[in-house]
Amino acid sequence: MDAISVIRTKRDRGELTPEQIDWVIDAYTRGEVADEQMSALAMAILLNGMNRTEIARWTAAMIASGERMNFDALSRPTTDKHSTGGVGDKITLPLAPLVAACGAAVPQLSGRGLGHTGGTLDKLESIPGWRAHLSNAEMRHVLDTTGAVICAAGDGLAPADKKLYALRDVTGTVEAIPLIASSIMSKKIAEGTGALVLDVKVGSGAFMKTIEDARELASTMVALGTDSGVRTVALLTDMSTPLGLTAGNALEVRESVEVLAGGGPQDVIDLTLALAREMLDAAGLKDADPEKALADGSAMDVWRRMISAQGGDPDATLPTAREQHVVTAPASGVLTRLDAYDVGVAAWRLGAGRARKEDPVQAGAGVELHAKPGDTVTEGQPLMTLHTDTPEMFDYALKALPESYDIAPAGTSFSPLPVVRERIA
């Protein structure tokens, strides 16, 4: 077996054999296949695709590159959620403790933000003392004692994916649907959860810009999960507008706590409850009532225990940025569009995100929204506030925003897209 023959097969639109896939993933993980060779193969996959058999074998090979976790000893059924990423997507923060409060165990392995999309671990690290990196034993202990854990994946989980994702990020092949699907599902299947709900974002602020691409990705991942014995369902959810009223790390934690306290933006509440119901149903807990658990404070109780168990102080004051800049409405009327991608880019430029994985982030940086599509605004009214510790970045962030919103004359009718657009199972 050699890398050139594998590359040529996919370059010429051929189907990779199971033996070719097993060999190339193992050889790349060991360093026998060079980065430039795997780059060529990834580009061939982006351009020519893979069929279901190839994707399933590719996923299995990445799982086999590392360890597999097992939670069979837990007294609760396990269920997990994965989001493909967006702007203001803080849903994991209220969702994990909410589902745990309803009787499930939630082993949530999360990641960091890159570019315009936010990362769950970056958000939680704005809480003083909170630790993202846990050993397997620590993860199981937190899960067993609180019902939910949110942490970074260990180095032993699908190491082939970690190496390949870093390569895809710098070679323009992140968008390849077979590679996205296998990347996500290899980690989730290796994680050992019994059920999985996928939140596949669609819209300007998502990696999948069209409903057709989102549907293809969701269907591919549902098939991979099902074939591996994991009960899997996907919701296609809107990411044309930022979720909630904040995009930024500490800003989103603050908003998540508001949701757990019985308040918060309606779209965040609606999506949290929709995903909670799917997770509980997949775990066999159909009679659980997540709306009640949100209202009676039991989800907040789990949140506090979960944060404390990972070294965080749930009562600590969250960081705030040193500088603010207010963007005002240039006219009166109805806000009919607020582009998620543009807001995400502005938050990233303010310091809430990173251009490279090793870059630091500012805990207090980001964008706070004062209006959402459908709201009536008045000329001079604040539309959004920009937060940063580096005020010299305001001009750079503002360059992302001039075309980010539309204001129509007063009385204009507006019909927002539903938060959940489709369900695939």
Q: What are the residue numbers of the active site?
A: 82, 161, 168, 183, 187
Segment holding 198, helix H or strand E: strand 195-202
Residue 236 phi/psi, 5-degree rounding, is: -90, 120
| 280 neighbors 288 (Cβ within 8 angstroms) | yes
C-alpha to C-alpha distance for 177 and 412, rounded to whole angstroms = 38
C-alpha to C-alpha distance for 93 and 294, rounded to whole angstroms = 13
Cα 387 to Cα 5, 90, 230, 342, 348: the distances in Å are 52, 18, 41, 15, 11
C-alpha to C-alpha distance for 272 and 95, rounded to whole angstroms = 6
Residue 361: both structure tokens together: 């982030």
User: What are the b/e assignments for 246-257, b being 16+ CB within 10 Å?
Assistant: bbbbbbbbbbbb
Q: Is 170 helix (H, G, I), strand (E, B) or coil?
A: coil
Label residue 115 exposed, middle or buried (CB < 10 Å: 0-12, 13-18, 19+).
middle
Cα 304 to Cα 94, 176, 188, 301: the distances in Å are 11, 39, 25, 5
